[in-house]
A = this chain, B = another copy of it.
């Protein structure tokens, strides 16, 4: 197969992980007889520096023209003082919206070899951590109106609004149920229905969908309780579906309990097969240029791209198995080091994964 991949190299230490990821993709292409064409697209800090805009239309167009998009991570201290519209994150939000990527899929899965790195007690980890957070990505308070104005008495007031309409909930709710059907068939809708109208609308829509998926064990949980349960007993979860902001918070918490956020990929999809694939970690400015950042989450994001956007399950397996073997051999990057293991830099970790494909 021939595929066009838009590549957003990202900021700070991000180009280092993207570089290793493209090496891995090339190896897969060679081995399985595919051709991947890469087109560089600028977004985030790089785009601000080049164009004064975190996502100019011509760069978004490159992403829309591709079969899928690979992203490292954007942002860094250099761009932190900028006003809202010109910040790197704004480029990411506009990319998600521009590509119509309403469904963000974030696995929280523990690699057995890295289990000791979890901040949770071994007894809890032993029960198993393997769930997915299906986060709505282009609605809610992220994309509602944001206003700041001066009241009559002279003080400032800001208002952010969190809108959700039925079709936005239904399409992501359906992804939640479909994802559960492919797994252990448990779906938990996380919300704050005791306070929010949007949450009550979510529940109403979810109840309609539930009727279509009688095999799925469906439950509901308030987000504050969920923040507790993720720490107390993560093994209870199979698939969580939730709105944008709650998904942001809960998925980060969930990634942390695995103890290895340098290993967690993510996919963002819309109605077609074109997706955006990126590690969940940030651009790690503090270690940029040192060739010590962990490229694995980005490499595993590429594996997700092969699986979900290109239908290349075997190829995705090849990458994931390679990562597994590397871990089995005790090879680690600095973020995951533990006694008795060998510490590799970013390039060396790329080499090690390549060698297993």
Contacts and interface: CB of A to CB of B under 8 A. Distances in A.
Contacts of A165: 151, 155-158
* A interface majority secondary structure: helix
Contacts of A195: 89, 93, 141-142, 245
A157 B161 contact: no
A124 interface: yes
Interface in A200-249: 200-201, 204, 223-225, 227-228, 230-232, 245-246, 248-249
Given A157-B166, A159-B162, A162-B161, A84 B200 contact: yes
Contacts of A248: 192, 223-224
Nearest to A84: B200
Nearest to A154: B166
Interface stretch (A64-72, A253-261, A268-276): A253-261
Interface in A127-148: 141-142, 144, 146-148
A121 B116 CA distance: 10
Contacts of A225: 252
Interface string A165-184: 11100000000000000000
Given A227-B249, A249-B249, A253-B253, A161 B160 contact: yes
B163 A144 contact: no
A225 B253 CA distance: 8
B250 A197 contact: no
